Amino acid sequence: MGIFRTKGIEQSIADTDEPEYQLKKNLTALDLTVFGVGVIIGAGIFTLTGRAAATIAGPAIVLSFVVSALCCALAALCYAEFASTVPVSGSAYTFAYASLGEIIAWIIGWDLLLELMLGASVVAQGWSTYAVVLLENLGIGWPAALGPGGTVDVLAMLLVALLATLITIGIKESMRVNLVLVAVKVFIVLFVIIAGIGFINPANYSPFIPPPVPGASAVEHWYQQPLLQAALGLEPTAFGVSGIFVGAALVFFAYIGFDVVATTAEEARNPQRDLPIGILASLLICTVLYAAVALVITGMVKYDQIDPKAALASAFTSLGKTNYATLISAGAVAGLTTVVLTLLIGASRVVFAMSRDHLLPPVLSKVHPRFQTPYVITVVIGVVTMLVAGLTPIGKLEEMVNIGTLTAFIVVSIGIVVLRRTRPDLPRAFRVPFSPALPIASAAICVFLTLNLSIETWLRFVIWMVLGFALYAAYGYRRSRLATGETLAEMGHAHR
């Protein structure tokens, strides 16, 4: 069997019933949909939209969102089938373990850890930026040295500490806070759309696809150009048709989150029905809102005059609507809070699943006797994310989150095809239509988007993967439960 040994579906599901590793089943389809919307609408809509429109795609950024949404929709169908067939914590990690083997599962678990923890750190810093703007608009100052770009970003660290504590107390409590903040966030997004329509100047949409800008003006250094352009020997460009696809690879960050819904599979009351609803509904809602916001912003302000740092707020400020800008900043603070919350939950559930399989030290998967949450790993992830968000200039690494997510999507899409062949007998509450054509198309589109990410992103990703392989060789290969043959029940008796 070796590194490609697989963990049976039945064993994965049986593990969820072991008392020492049991999570509370509290979440409904509505909870999961709100959870998905909570994490999807955030950094992308409040920060990336303006930057991608101003520097990469112009008004055609709307098409970039559509391309990203198409990619996500195909991957979402694959996630929905897997989540309804294997309702176990861990998302793509668990799915890969069941279909493609232990080494692929490890790679994806390691990869998801990068996506979720790095994503939480990046978004916490974005939250800190908007929080300072909001405080200033309210007449409250904040020391520059203790804010974004300062010596220590205390605001970002406080946010992560507070949310990690909330997650430790309970998943349902976290969802209640999430519900309130998501309502605020969706209200702000609808406000931007409705208020902004009246300020649209149709002339700003021309040209809809700006002509390509070649040469050094497109990128500062060779390693910042997309890998595909470099591989084909093309001159670096921004805008044009290629700008739509490069923009899609960047704004893909705006969609991370619907896959996090799958990490809570063990905590859903009726996972076979509720998980597909939560995944697909949250993706559909967010795609419509994203496209509408992109159209409004590029219609209000000429694409080359958009402020890349705070496009939504500055668009209204430039029209003399300062009060609107304050309201949008408040919405961004609420919105980014829910993103950090859900990314931290996702990261803790992935490591929980890996630890329960002994690919990581089993102490990490201990569940709190009262709260029934994996409190040890939640605390560890909270501390690491706090330090990264507070002490490092990591905001430039958001493309790392994209390549991590796309890699997970590729594996899940291929896993659907493999599992249909190896386990056709499994009951599937939801099935991807037109299989294997759609899963293969999903994997192909994801690969194409990864090739549109920069060379430096690929180099960093390769380094992270090499570290992961080294850790697996040193620890997980010999100590995993598939290697030792130890079951959770035997472990429980040994502890007692």
Task: Give the bridge partners for 226, in sequence order.
Answer: 454
Q: What local confidence, expressed as pLDDT, does residue 81 receive?
A: 86
How far apart are alpha carbons 289 and 185 in whole angstroms? 11
Strands 237-238 and 213-214: antiparallel
Domain around 10: 2-495
CATH of the domain at 149: 1.20.1740.10
Q: What is the CA radius of gyration of the chain?
A: 22
Tokens of 398: 């958001």
- The domain total for the chain is 1
pLDDT at 493: 43
For residue 319, give the 3-state DSSP assignment.
coil
Please say whether the beta carbons of 263 and 345 come within 8 A: yes
In this prediction the pTM is 0.80
> Which candidate, 91, 60, 16, places its Cα nearest to that of 348?
91
Beta strands per DSSP E along 229-367: 237-238
Which pLDDT score is estimated for 156? 92
In Å, how far are 25, 90, 263, 351, 420 from 366, measured between CA atoms? 17, 15, 17, 11, 33
* Nearest to 332, CA basis, from 135, 141, 466, 493: 135
Distances (CA, A) of 423 to 8, 101, 271, 467: 10, 14, 20, 33
d(CA 217, CA 368): 54
Nearest Cα neighbor of 165 from 341, 23, 43 is: 341
Q: How far is Cα 423 from Cα 266, in angstroms, rounded to an integer?
A: 21
Name 284's Cβ contacts closer than 8 Å, sequence gap at least 6.
Answer: none
Q: Helix axis angle, 455-471 relative to 398-422, nearest 10°?
A: 60
Looking at the chain, how many residues does it have? 496
Chain position carrying tokens 């006797």:
369
What pLDDT is attached to residue 494?
A: 42
| Bridge partners, 27 (sequence order) | 268
What is the pLDDT at residue 410? 92
Distance from the Cα of residue 451 to its chain's centroid = 19
What's phi and psi for 226, nearest 5 deg? Answer: -60, 145
| Structure tokens, 395 | 């905001």
Helix (H) or strand (E) holding 189: helix 171-197
**Neighbour-count burial of 427, counting CB atoms closer than 10 A to its CB (0-12 exposed, 13-18 middle, 19+ buried):** exposed
pLDDT value of position 62: 92
In tens digits, the chain (496 residues) has pLDDT values of: 578 888 877 777 777 666 665 666 777 888 888 878 877 887 667 767 888 888 888 999 999 998 888 888 888 888 888 877 877 766 678 888 888 889 999 988 898 888 888 888 988 988 888 888 788 878 888 888 887 778 899 999 999 999 999 888 876 666 777 788 888 888 888 988 998 998 999 999 989 999 988 754 455 677 778 888 888 887 767 788 888 988 888 888 778 767 777 767 677 788 778 888 888 888 888 889 988 988 998 999 898 888 776 677 778 888 888 788 888 888 888 888 888 888 898 888 888 888 988 999 988 878 877 777 788 899 999 999 999 999 887 656 677 888 888 888 898 899 999 989 988 888 888 889 898 999 999 999 999 989 988 898 899 899 999 999 999 999 989 888 888 877 655 544 444 3
What pLDDT is recorded for position 19? Answer: 61
